[in-house]
């Protein structure tokens, strides 16, 4: 009997020990399983109407952030960022199929060029020659024209480094494309860092003088694009925005700058201290769609804006080497587009912070020049940092 007792106790101890060890080891393993690995995966995304094959790249960092980018238009189709509890949710608007991008959309997540924003009447004069650009926004030229950089297939190459991964995109915009002079060779490098940043480096070179103004057009909703996620987003009006700009460029009815650099003081344009986007939006005709003149521009990387979303606790900072920032509050979204999670994108469902030179600079001699000369290099860096 005694023997039996000792035997049973030993068996129980052994079982408990095995259970304990197994549990521990299992836990370690499952944690390891959950740990994110930095890397890139590539998948086929579809074909354009002209039969060009397009890929989708998923960049991941070791913290769990992922960014999906297609070489069609250099579009960021998805970007996840952590909330205050560390949960990652997709915070950009967009689609999960190429067909939906091909069917038309308002520049969701795209690289915009050769000239971001508007050029009045699609005309400008350079070295005594008048150039006529494609007009695609009433009488004006918007975001590079009918077939801008958002609608072309870019050559792509993966970049693997010690603490970051990236995607190098290249596109040759031919002399005369959309009316622009010069063959323009453009490189855009998207980098996902180990620090939850999406860095975008732009470079361009030309063989004839031409205006160049490249930007990125993600629509962010920091509460989460998917209302089934941590949020339950009703739009971006509750987001708190800070823009480090004392001045902005007022516009006419066609959203063309008048040429004035106006102080934001005592106007609803003032975001020098954090203010809810919705707080004064009704005082701004049509909503926010304005270029801000960033303070102390000297071409170095500076903090241009910060956005925090109170429900999720997400914070995004925008750093740039550019002199301007277009704040667009998604005014033209009207519920007719359904996004990747099945959500209808209503007015103000996403906002854009587009780092850029000022709109219509080729016709505004008092604005910083956007003319790239042969032998010179256009460079621009912007960082979207999530914390």
| Binding positions for ligand BGC, rule: CB under 6 A | 106-107, 117, 255, 289, 326, 328, 332, 352, 354
- State the residue number with the nearest CB to ligand BGC: 106
Instruction: For residues 253 and 183, give the distance between their C-alpha atoms in angstroms, rounded to a whole number.
Output: 33
Min dist. Cβ of residue 354 to ligand BGC (A): 5
Instruction: For residues 98 and 101, give the distance between their C-alpha atoms in angstroms, rounded to a whole number.
Output: 5
Nearer Cβ to ligand BGC, position 255 or 372? Answer: 255
Instruction: Write the CB contacts of 191 (distance below 8 Å, at least 6 apart in sequence).
Output: 159, 164, 165, 166, 197, 198, 199, 200, 201
Token pair in block for residue 48:
């354009």
Instruction: For residues 353 and 307, give the distance between their C-alpha atoms in angstroms, rounded to a whole number.
Output: 10
Min dist. Cβ of residue 63 to ligand BGC (A): 30
Min dist. Cβ of residue 293 to ligand BGC (A): 15
Min dist. Cβ of residue 100 to ligand BGC (A): 16
Token pair in block for residue 356:
């850029």
Of 105, 141, 217, 290, catalytic: 217
Alpha carbon of residue 307 to chain centroid: 14
Min dist. Cβ of residue 376 to ligand BGC (A): 26
Min dist. Cβ of residue 218 to ligand BGC (A): 11
Of 177, 223, 322, 354, catalytic: 354
Token pair in block for residue 90:
């997709």
Token pair in block for residue 243:
């823009």
- Name 56's bridge partners: 43, 70
Min dist. Cβ of residue 149 to ligand BGC (A): 14
Q: Give the position of tokens 């519920």.
A: 335
Instruction: For residues 101 and 109, give the distance between their C-alpha atoms in angstroms, rounded to a whole number.
Output: 10
- Name 173's bridge partners: 184
Exposure b/e, 163-195, CB count within 10 A at least 16 = b: ebbbbbbebebeeebbbbbbbbebbbbbbbbee
Active-site annotation holds for 217: yes
Token pair in block for residue 156:
């792509």
Active-site annotation holds for 354: yes
Min dist. Cβ of residue 112 to ligand BGC (A): 7
Nearer Cβ to ligand BGC, position 75 or 165? Answer: 75
Query: What are the catalytic residues?
Result: 217, 354
């Amino acid at each position: 009997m005694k023997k039996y007792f000792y035997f049973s106790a030993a068996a129980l101890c052994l079982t408990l020990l095995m259970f304990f060890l197994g549990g521990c080891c299992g836990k370690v393993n499952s944690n390891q399983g959950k740990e994110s690995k930095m890397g890139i995966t590539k998948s086929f995304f579809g074909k354009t109407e002209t039969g060009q094959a397009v890929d989708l790249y998923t960049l991941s960092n070791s913290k769990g952030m992922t960014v999906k980018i297609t070489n069609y238009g250099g579009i960021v189709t998805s970007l996840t960022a952590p909330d205050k509890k560390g949960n990652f949710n997709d915070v950009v608007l967009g689609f999960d199929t190429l067909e939906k991008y091909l069917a038309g959309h308002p520049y969701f997540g795209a690289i915009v060029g050769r000239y971001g924003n508007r050029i009045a009447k699609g005309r400008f004069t350079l070295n005594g020659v008048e150039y006529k650009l494609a007009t695609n926004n009433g009488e004006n030229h918007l975001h590079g024209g009918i077939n801008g950089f958002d609608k072309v297939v870019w050559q792509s190459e993966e970049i693997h480094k010690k603490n970051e991964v990236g995607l190098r995109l290249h596109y040759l915009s031919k002399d005369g494309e959309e009316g622009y002079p010069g063959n323009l060779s453009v490189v855009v490098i998207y980098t996902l860092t180990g620090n939850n940043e999406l860095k975008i480096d732009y470079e361009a070179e030309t063989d004839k003088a031409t205006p160049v103004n490249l930007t990125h057009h993600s629509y962010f909703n920091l509460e989460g694009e998917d209302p089934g996620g941590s949020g339950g987003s009703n739009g971006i009006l509750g987001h708190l925005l800070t823009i480090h700009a004392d001045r902005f460029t007022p516009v006419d009815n066609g959203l063309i700058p008048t040429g004035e650099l106006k102080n934001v003081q005592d106007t609803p344009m003032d975001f020098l201290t954090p203010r809810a986007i919705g707080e004064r939006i009704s005082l701004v005709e049509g909503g926010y769609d304005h270029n801000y003149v960033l303070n102390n521009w000297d071409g170095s990387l500076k903090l241009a804006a910060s956005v925090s979303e109170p429900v999720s606790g997400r914070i995004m900072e925008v750093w740039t080497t550019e002199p301007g920032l277009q704040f667009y509050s998604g005014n033209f979204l009207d519920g007719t587009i359904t996004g990747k999670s099945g959500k209808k994108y209503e007015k103000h469902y996403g906002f854009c912070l587009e780092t850029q030179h000022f709109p219509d600079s080729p016709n505004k001699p008092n604005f910083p020049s956007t003319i790239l000369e042969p032998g010179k290099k256009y460079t621009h860096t912007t960082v979207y940092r999530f914390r």
